């Protein structure tokens, strides 16, 4: 959101830090980048303090690559593992209090819509299962009922990984954790079902096993939220520390969980489907060779 605002005179560009120059000249701020190009250009997220092998970090990295307009995007987060990476990224990040991310996003989206009437500004909430399904549940649901036009992405590691391993509403029934030694006694919350009931325009469940699919899903969710209504992505991002998954086996675990109970699923309302089909048709026309 700041590139246009802080664009410097060409004569002074050479004096700016190399990291800034690389990000502007070769990063996703000015060029659309593909997942296959990861590692070959300056990314929005590079250094971070996340645990080695963390699947959540891969998901966040791909999500930031997939944003349709990095220049015009704001991320809202809260306490939890994800904010450790998000707060290090080269993109505006608002740290909401635990529980109010979707309330903050609602106000921010409305304010940006008033301030920038002729330019779409994308707001994306990215927080854990504790922040969205437990402590932030009320704000999430009411933002969906109000049809607020922003995307909510749940980083579902099925545990409070940042505070020692308490069960969350998204933990599987029967799961034994450090702070749930007798096993969880209740079913995993059906946030996807609640999203459908609330009238969310686009819903997806996904694991990080296919980065290109992750990128396409995030891009679709953000664009539909921009024009139609609220969108929700529920992403399996395991906590390899609390679930004792060896670092080299993190993606093996993701593939097994995806096959067992977290397969890719997407759902669109009729309005969202009509918008997306027209959008894709227009995009194909623009790409088609022009004939006289």
Write out pLDDT tens, residues 35-68. Answer: 999 989 989 888 888 998 899 999 999 999 999 9
The side-by-side arrangement of strands in the sheet containing 73-77 is 93-95, 73-77, 122-128, 151-156, 231-236, 202-206, 265-268
CB-based contact 249:268 (threshold 8 Å) = no
| Burial (Cβ within 10 Å: 0-12, 13-18, ≥19) of residue 269 | middle
Which parts of 133-275 are beta strand (E)? 151-156, 202-206, 231-236, 265-268
Q: How far apart are CA 212 and CA 220, in angstroms?
A: 12
Q: Give the CA-trace dihedral at 282, 284, 289, 292, to 10 degrees.
A: -30
Give me the domains of the chain, ranges plus CATH numbers: 50-287 (3.40.50.970)
| Tokens describing residue 247 | 């670092």
For 205-245, the pLDDT digits (tens) are 999 999 999 999 999 999 999 999 999 999 999 999 999 99
pLDDT band at 17 (very low <50, low <70, confident <90, very high): confident
pLDDT for 202:
98
pLDDT for 1:
47
For 122-164, the pLDDT digits (tens) are 999 999 999 999 999 999 999 999 999 999 999 999 999 888 8
Whose tokens are 């909510």? That residue is 152
| Burial (Cβ within 10 Å: 0-12, 13-18, ≥19) of residue 235 | buried
Q: How far apart are CA 71 and CA 1, in angstroms?
A: 4
Nearest partner of 217 among 65, 109, 71, judged by Cα: 65
pLDDT band at 2 (very low <50, low <70, confident <90, very high): low
Which parts of the chain are beta strand (E)? 73-77, 93-95, 122-128, 151-156, 202-206, 231-236, 265-268
What's the whole-number mean pLDDT along residues 61-82? 93
DSSP, collapsed to helix, strand or coil, labels residue 80 as coil
Q: How far apart are CA 49 and CA 63, in angstroms?
A: 18
Q: How far apart are CA 290 and CA 251, in angstroms?
A: 44
């Amino acid at each position: 959101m700041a590139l246009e605002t802080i664009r410097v005179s060409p004569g002074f560009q050479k004096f700016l830090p190399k990291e800034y120059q690389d990000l502007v000249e070769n990063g996703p701020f000015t060029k659309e980048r593909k997942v296959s190009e990861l590692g070959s250009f300056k990314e929005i997220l590079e250094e971070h303090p996340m645990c080695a092998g963390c699947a959540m970090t891969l998901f966040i990295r791909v999500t930031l690559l997939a944003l349709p307009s990095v220049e015009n995007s704001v991320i809202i987060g809260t306490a939890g593992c994800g904010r450790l990476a998000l707060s290090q990224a080269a993109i505006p990040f608002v740290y909401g209090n635990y529980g109010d991310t979707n309330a903050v996003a609602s106000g921010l989206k409305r304010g940006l819509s008033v301030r920038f009437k002729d330019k779409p500004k994308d707001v994306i909430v990215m927080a854990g299962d504790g922040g969205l399904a437990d402590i932030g549940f009320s704000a999430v649901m009411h933002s969906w009922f109000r049809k607020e036009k922003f995307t909510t992405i749940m980083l579902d590691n099925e545990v409070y990984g940042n505070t020692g391993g308490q069960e969350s509403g998204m933990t599987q029934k029967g799961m034994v954790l450090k702070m749930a030694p007798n096993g969880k006694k209740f079913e995993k919350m059906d946030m996807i079902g609640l999203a459908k009931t609330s009238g969310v325009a686009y819903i997806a469940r996904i694991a990080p096993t296919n980065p290109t699919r992750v990128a396409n899903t995030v891009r679709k969710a953000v664009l539909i939220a921009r024009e139609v209504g609220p969108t929700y992505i529920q992403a399996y991002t395991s906590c390899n520390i609390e679930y004792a998954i060896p670092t080299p086996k993190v993606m093996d675990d993701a593939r097994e969980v995806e096959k067992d109970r977290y397969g890719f699923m997407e759902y669109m309302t009729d309005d969202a489907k009509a918008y997306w089909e027209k959008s894709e048709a227009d995009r194909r026309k623009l790409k088609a060779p022009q004939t006289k």
